[in-house]
């Protein structure tokens, strides 16, 4: 005979089992990086590095670097030009995208940042690749083909 207490325990066990995540969806702790295969037409290569702790993305860096290792977010001339052309710059939209990724944990749920439409899809592809590496536990850099911008700025 099943008592009320054992029925509650069985229901709780069933609920926990039914709601358990697929092991393939779990992120392994560590740092994971995805970067563009090639430099873009202006000489920058985008990358995203995520840090996973306790199965969640807790830190992310989205940026681009040139062949000398200089970071796009530090390029003041590019910041001025981009801000005049689009109303934003790499520093602003990269923070918006990484904060959204940290909050939502899903690149598909990262909203488009104003003025950074062409970077949205690129960010999502890099995030999907980095998360794929985290699921697999692979510390190798994932090289990602990124779409070529339609309007060279």
Give tens-digit pLDDT for 92-138. 888 999 999 999 999 999 998 887 888 899 999 999 999 999 999 99
What would you report as the CA-atom Rg of the chain, rounded to the nearest whole angstrom?
20
| 150 assigned to some structural domain | no
**Has residue 81 been placed in a domain?**
yes
Give the phi and the psi of residue 133 in degrees, each rounded to 5. -65, -40
Give a yes or no: residue 136 inside a domain: yes
CA–CA distance from 119 to each of 97, 113, 151 (Å)?
Answer: 10, 9, 12
Judge whether 120 lies within some domain.
yes
Pairing type for strands 142-144 and 30-36 reads parallel
User: Is the per-residue pLDDT at 32 higher than 70?
Assistant: yes
- What pLDDT is recorded for position 24? 54
Which has more confidence, 91 or 135? 135
Q: Looking at the domain assignment, is residue 11 inside a domain?
A: no
Average pLDDT for residues 142-151, to the nearest whole number?
80
The total number of structural domains in the chain stands at 1
**13, part of any domain:** no
Q: Domain containing 67: what range?
A: 23-144
Q: State the CATH number of the domain containing residue 49.
A: 3.90.1010.20
Q: What is d(CA 135, CA 80) in angstroms, rounded to the nearest whole number?
A: 38
Q: What are 51's strand-pairing partners? A: 31, 59
pLDDT tens, position by position, 66-80: 999 999 988 777 767
pTM (two decimals): 0.78
Q: What pLDDT does residue 1 have? A: 55
Cα–Cα distance, 94 to 92 (Å, whole number): 6
Q: What distance in Å separates the CA atoms of residue 96 and residue 90, rounded to the nearest whole number?
A: 10
């Amino acid at each position: 005979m099943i008592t009320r207490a054992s029925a509650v325990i069985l229901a709780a066990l069933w609920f926990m089992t039914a709601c358990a995540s697929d092991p393939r969806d779990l992120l392994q702790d560590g740092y994971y990086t995805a970067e563009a295969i090639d430099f873009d037409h202006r000489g920058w290569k985008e990358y995203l590095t995520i840090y996973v702790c306790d199965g969640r993305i807790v830190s992310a860096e989205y940026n681009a670097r040139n062949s000398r290792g200089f970071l796009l977010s530090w390029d003041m001339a590019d910041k001025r030009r981009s801000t005049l052309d689009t109303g934003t710059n790499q520093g602003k939209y990269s923070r918006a995208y990484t904060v959204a990724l940290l909050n939502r944990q899903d690149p598909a749920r990262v909203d488009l940042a104003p003025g950074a439409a062409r970077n949205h899809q690129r960010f999502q592809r890099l995030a999907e690749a980095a998360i794929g590496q985290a699921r697999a536990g692979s510390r190798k850099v994932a090289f990602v083909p990124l779409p070529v911008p339609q309007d060279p700025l």
